Amino acid sequence: MQRIRIRYAKRGPLRFTSHRDFARAFERALRRAGVPIAFSQGFTPHPKISYASAAPTGVASEAEYLEIGLRAQVDPAELRAALDAALSPGLDVLDAVEATGGSLAERIEASRWRVELPGVPPAALRAAVEKFRSAAEVPVERLTKQGRRTFDTRGAVISIDVIEENETPSEVTGVPCAILGLVVRQVTPTVRPDDVLSGLRVVADLEPPAPPRATRLAQGTLTAQADLVDPLDADRDRATIAEH
């Protein structure tokens, strides 16, 4: 069985697509594109699709990952193009490589995020970020599948900064819009951007007046410089070595 690993994006209004809705849309796209998907054994066979660390509903992403199993060999580039054409605009297939071994989930140690905060002046965000950085712990509470839990957000945040840009949404709308940059380690329970915003509320009483706009920019393994290595790079490198 051939295994293909795929990176896809959720953009624009499609960021409100739930994980379950995306899974249904992806299975329909597989059928429309004529992909020879493999199925599990048993009384109710399911297509061999595994997802890695899906973004929450309402969050945009440029770096979502999944793996599919196929019953026949395909060209990854042709598969990417066919699936992208079969999905709605805003659910975009960006990359596809043949899996060469290892676990996709084990290659995802952290995520990089960009969070726009309409109505928040950058100076107020900078002050809140400094308080967050200097705190030993920042406990927040959230309702999980196991009930209401309190957990530390500070320990999961590898880096937190205010992004400075020459042209921000505030210059277009006239409303201040601070932009938060985050690198967050994959932990249990998962620390999400809204958890970090709850932490900023705890340490600095920062309360955005409008809903934040979060985008996941990347996922991967961490380098010593807190950069992220794309989970698909190892498959590409091994394929290149095999060719030579």
Do 108-228 and 2-99 fall under one CATH topology?
yes
pLDDT digits (tens, 9 = 90+) for 231-240: 999 998 776 6
Full pLDDT tens readout for the chain, 244 residues: 899 999 999 999 999 999 999 999 999 999 999 999 999 988 889 999 999 988 999 999 999 999 999 999 999 999 999 999 999 999 999 999 999 988 999 999 999 999 999 999 999 999 999 999 999 999 999 887 778 889 999 999 999 999 987 544 444 456 789 999 999 999 988 999 999 999 999 999 999 999 999 999 999 999 988 899 999 999 987 766 666 5
Task: Show the CA angle centred on residue 211, arms to residues 12 and 202, nearest 5°.
Answer: 135
pLDDT in tens, 148-188: 889 999 999 999 999 987 544 444 456 789 999 999 999 98
Q: Residue with structure tokens 């042209």?
A: 167
Strands 110-118 and 177-185: antiparallel
Map out the domains of the chain as residue ranges.
Answer: 2-99, 108-228
What DSSP state is assigned to residue 146? Answer: T
Residues sharing a CB contact under 8 Å with residue 177, sequence separation 6 or more, in sequence order: 116, 117, 118, 119, 120, 168, 169, 170
Separation of alpha carbons 155 and 55, rounded Å: 20
Claim: this prediction has a pTM higher than 0.85: yes
Give 2-99's CATH code, choosing from 3.40.50.1010, 3.30.70.580, 3.40.50.800, 2.130.10.10.
3.30.70.580
The two tokens of residue 81 are 């193009």
Nearest to 219 by CA among 83, 53, 98: 53
Residues 6+ apart with CB under 8 A from 21: none
Q: Classify domain 108-228 by CATH architecture.
A: 2-Layer Sandwich (3.30)
Helix (H, G, I), strand (E, B) or coil at 92: strand
**Amino acid at the residue 12:** G
Q: Which residues are 110's β-sheet partners?
A: 185, 220
Pair of tokens at residue 232: 């698909």
Position 172 scores a pLDDT of 45
